[in-house]
Chains A and B, each alone.
Chain A
Amino acid sequence: MNQWLLAIIAVVVAPFIGGILAGIDRKISARLQGRWGPPIVQPFYDFFKLLGKSKIAVSRVQLVWLYGYLFFMITSLVLLVLQQDILLLVFMLGFAGICFVLAGFSCKSPYSHFGANRELLQMLSYEPVLLLMALAIYAQNGSFMISEIFKNNTPLIVPLWPIFIALIYVLTIKLRKSPFDISTSHHAHQELVKGIMTEFSGPYYALVLLTEWYEIVLLLGLVSLFWANPLWVGIIIALAAFVLEMFIDNIAARMTAGWMVKVSWAVGLILGVLNLAYLYLKKGVL
Chain B
Amino acid sequence: MQLDWMMAVAILLPLISGILVYIIRQYHIRGLIVVLTAIALIINSILFVKQGLPIEYTPEGYNWGLVITVLDYVILLFYIYAGLSLRNWLVLIFALTQIIPLAYWEFGMGAHAEVEPAFFIDHLAVVMTLIISIIGSLICVYAIRYMYDHEHHLHLENSRQSRFLFWLVMFLGAMNGLVFANNIYWLYFFWEVTTLCCFELIAHDLTTEAINNAARALWMNSLGGTAFVLAIIYLYMNHGGAEALSMQNIISGGLGQAVALLPIALLCFTGFTKAAQMPFQSWLLGAMVAPTPVSALLHSSTMVKAGVYLVVRLAPAFAGSYLSIMVALAGAFTFFGASALAISQTNAKRVLAYSTIANLGLIIACAGINTPLSIAAAILLIIFHAISKGLLFMCAGTIDHIIWSRDIEDMEGLAEKAPVVTFITAVGILSMFMPPFGMLLGKWMALEAVYIVPLAAILFVLASAVTIVFWAKWLGRLLQVLPRLGKKWEKLSLSYSVPLWVLVIGIFVVGIGVAPIYQKFVHFAVTNVIAAEEVFAQGWNIVIPGSAAASAAQAVGAYPVWPLFLVLAAALFVPFICLALKPGELRPVYMCGEQVGGTDADEWITAGEQKAKLQLGGYYFQSVLGEAALNPWVNTIAIALLVILFGVSLGRWS
Contact = CB atoms under 8 A, between A and B. Distances in A.
B454 interface: yes
B482 A108 contact: yes
B555 A131 contact: no
A145 B479 contact: no
Contacts of A54: 585
Contact of B587 (A56, A64, A121): A56
A105 interface: yes
Contacts of B461: 128, 131-132, 135
A88 B557 contact: yes
B555 A143 contact: yes
Contact of B454 (A57, A66, A193, A285): A285
A109 B468 contact: no
A64 B555 contact: no
Q: Main secondary structure on chain A at its contact with chain B?
A: helix
Interface centre among A64, A108, A198 (most CB of B within 10 A): A108
Interface string B472-496: 1101110111110100000000000
Contacts of B591: 109-110
Contact of A58 (B415, B444, B476, B587): B587
Contacts of B413: 108
Nearest to B588: A58
Contacts of A16: none
Given A61-B479, A143-B551, A127 B468 contact: yes
Interface in B28-43: none
Given A87-B448, A108-B616, A135-B447, A143 B589 contact: no
Contacts of B628: none
Interface stretch (B132-140, B162-170, B295-303, B568-576): B568-576
Contacts of A105: 475-477, 479-480
A121 B549 CA distance: 34
A138 B574 contact: no
A81 interface: no
Contact of A144 (B556, B570, B618): B556
A141 B413 CA distance: 47
A205 interface: no
Contacts of B483: 57-59, 107
A84 B575 CA distance: 28
B510 interface: no
Contacts of B576: 64
B129 to A, nearest CB: 31
A123 B469 contact: yes
User: Which of B466, B571, B602 is packed against the most chain A CB atoms within 10 Å?
Assistant: B571
A128 B465 CA distance: 6
Contact of A60 (B448, B462, B581): B581
A116 B476 contact: yes
A102 B472 contact: yes
Interface string A129-168: 0011011001101111100100000000000000000000
A71 B479 contact: no
A85 interface: yes
A95 interface: yes
Interface string A73-113: 00100000000110110011011001101101111111111
A202 to B, nearest CB: 10
A273 interface: yes
A121 to B, nearest CB: 8
Contact of B552 (A87, A131, A142): A142
A124 B551 contact: no
B546 A143 contact: yes
B444 A64 contact: no
A148 B581 contact: no
B252 to A, nearest CB: 28
Interface string B534-566: 000000000000100101111111111000100
Contacts of A60: 485, 581, 586
B107 interface: no
A10 interface: no
B435 A61 contact: no
A68 interface: yes
Contacts of B585: 54-57
Contacts of B551: 142-143
A101 to B, nearest CB: 5
Nearest to B604: A110
Interface residues of A, number: 68
B462 A128 contact: yes
B457 interface: yes
B310 to A, nearest CB: 29
A101 B590 CA distance: 18
Contacts of A242: none
B639 interface: no
A55 B584 CA distance: 10
Nearest to A134: B447
Contacts of B653: none
A85 B589 contact: no
B581 A55 contact: yes
A32 to B, nearest CB: 31
Contacts of B476: 101-102, 104-106, 116
Nearest to B616: A113
B255 interface: no
Contact of A57 (B435, B587, B616, B619): B587
Interface string A238-266: 00000000000000000000000000000
Given A71-B570, A116-B476, A143-B546, A95 B435 contact: yes
Interface in B343-384: none
A283 to B, nearest CB: 10
B452 interface: yes
A67 interface: yes
Interface string B572-608: 1011100101000111111110000000001000000
A271 interface: no
Contact of B558 (A64, A67, A107, A145): A145
A120 B472 contact: yes
Contacts of A84: 558, 560
Nearest to A127: B465
B442 to A, nearest CB: 12
Interface in A214-232: none
B434 interface: yes
A163 to B, nearest CB: 12
Contacts of A59: 481-483, 485, 586
Contacts of A22: none
A72 interface: yes
Nearest to B601: A108
Nearest to B434: A95
Interface pairs A-B: 8 shortest CB-CB: A105-B476, A143-B553, A109-B589, A142-B551, A127-B465, A71-B571, A144-B557, A131-B461
20 contacts: A59-B481, A59-B483, A59-B485, A60-B485, A60-B586, A75-B564, A84-B558, A88-B557, A102-B479, A105-B480, A108-B614, A116-B476, A123-B469, A127-B468, A134-B447, A142-B546, A142-B551, A143-B553, A143-B555, A277-B454
Given A68-B572, A102-B472, A105-B480, 20 more contacts: A63-B575, A63-B579, A87-B447, A88-B435, A91-B434, A102-B476, A109-B591, A110-B591, A110-B614, A113-B616, A120-B619, A135-B447, A135-B451, A141-B553, A143-B551, A143-B554, A145-B553, A145-B556, A193-B592, A286-B454
Interface of A: 54-61, 63-64, 66-68, 71-72, 75, 84-85, 87-88, 91-92, 94-95, 98-99, 101-102, 104-113, 116-117, 120-121, 123-124, 127-128, 131-132, 134-135, 138-139, 141-145, 148, 193, 198-199, 269, 273, 276-277, 280, 285-286
Interface of B: 413, 415, 434-435, 440, 444, 447-448, 451-452, 454, 457-458, 461-462, 464-466, 468-469, 472-473, 475-477, 479-483, 485, 546, 549, 551-560, 564, 567, 570-572, 574-576, 579, 581, 585-592, 602, 614, 616, 618-619
